[in-house]
Amino acid sequence: MSFNSKEKSTIESEAISTIRGFRDGYAKFKERTAIDQCSKGMITGYGRSIANVALHFGRVPHEVGVDEINGYLYRIATHDGMSASYFKLAVYGLRYWFRLHGMEEKAIAMPSIKREFKLPVVLSKQECKELFKAPRSLKHRYLLAFAYAGGLRMNELRLLKISDVDVHRKQVHIYLGKGRKGRYVTLSNFLIERFEHYLSEVKPQKYLFEGLTPGEAMGSRSIQYVIKEALLKTTIRKEVSMHTLRHSFATHLLEDGIDIHSIQLLLGHSHINTTIIYLHVAQVKTRLAHSPLDSLYGKQLG
C-alpha cells in the first residue's frame, strides 16, 4: 500500500508505520469495505477509530483483550470528553474489525448502542405552500417543490439528471440512493405541468438542478442556502432543513391514507422500522376494528 504526502499525516498512516501488523489488517479492512460498498464517511470514521485504538494499546485491536477494550471505551465515554458520535464510531468500528478477523464473540461483547428516539420535524401542508412560493428564482421554487414531491434525499436531488425524469410514465428514476440502491418515485402532475417551462427558462444542460457552472450538479451547501433564504421570507419558525421536506413528504402521505409499506418503498428504506417513526407524527384518523364479513355485505362500518 502506498501513501502520498497528505495520507502520511493521517492517524491511520501513523498506526501503519508504528504498530506491528496494522498495515496488513488495515489493507484487509479497506478491501472489505470496498467490497461491501461502504460509504466514504463510514470508512473514514471506522478507520480512524480503529487506528486510535491500535495506537493507544500499541497493538492491533484483535490482539487486545475485551476487558482492556471496555476499559478504553469507558475512559473515552466518561473522562476524555469525547462526543457520543465518537464513542459510537469506536464501538461500530471495533465490531466491524473483529468480525473481519473472524472474532464474532469479541464483536458481540462490544457494548450495545441505544438509538435515540427523536421525532422528525414536519411542516404542515400550508407551511409547505408558503415555503415553495417564497423564493424569487424559478429554479429555487422548483427545487424545493421537487424535493418534497419525491421525498428525495439531498444527494438524490442534486445528482438528478434531466434524463431521469419521465413525464410520460410520471416517474423519477433514482439511480443510486442510500446504500447504492435504485428506485422509482412518482412524479407529481403539478411538476409535470411546469417541467417544459422550467427547462426553457432555466436551461439546465445535464442535471436538473445545476450550479453556476453549466453541466455540473448544484452543491449541497448551495441547496441548503436556498432553503435557508426561503425560510427567512416565511412565517415558519421550526428548525427546518432539506431533510425536513422528506419527513413532511412521508407524513403527508400517511395522512392522505397511503399505507406504510408503500411509503417505505418510495423513501427507499431498507427496513420498515425506519419508516414506522412517521406513524408517531402523522395525524391519522383511527377507525374501529370490524369484521370483514360486515364490509363484505355492505354493512355500515363504525
Q: Residue 237 catalytic?
A: no
Q: Cβ contacts of residue 137 below 8 Å, gap of 6+?
A: none
Helix 66-78 with 40-57: angle, nearest 10 deg: 110
Residue in 171, 178, 224 with CA at minimum distance from that of residue 39: 178
Residue in 144, 120, 153 with CA at minimum distance from that of residue 39: 153
Q: Residue 168 catalytic?
A: no
Amino acid at 98: F
Residues in a beta bridge with 83: none
The CA distance from 43 to 31, in Å, is: 11
User: Active-site residue among 23, 178, 183, 194?
Assistant: 178
Q: What is the dihedral of CA 148, 153, 154, 157, to 10 degrees?
A: -70
Burial class from Cβ neighbours inside 10 Å (0-12, 13-18, 19+) for residue 245 reads buried
Q: Residue 269 catalytic?
A: yes
The CA distance from 186 to 163, in Å, is: 15
In the block, residue with C-alpha cell 420498515 = 272
In the block, residue with C-alpha cell 495506537 = 55
Largest CA distance in the chain: 78
Q: Residue 153 catalytic?
A: yes
- H or E stretch covering 166: strand 165-166
User: Active-site residue among 153, 158, 247, 252?
Assistant: 153
Q: Which cell is 4 given?
A: 502520498
Q: Residue 261 catalytic?
A: no
User: Active-site residue among 23, 56, 170, 243?
Assistant: 243
The CA distance from 117 to 121, in Å, is: 13
Q: Residue 246 catalytic?
A: yes
User: Active-site residue among 140, 141, 246, 247?
Assistant: 246
Active site residues: 153, 178, 243, 246, 269, 278
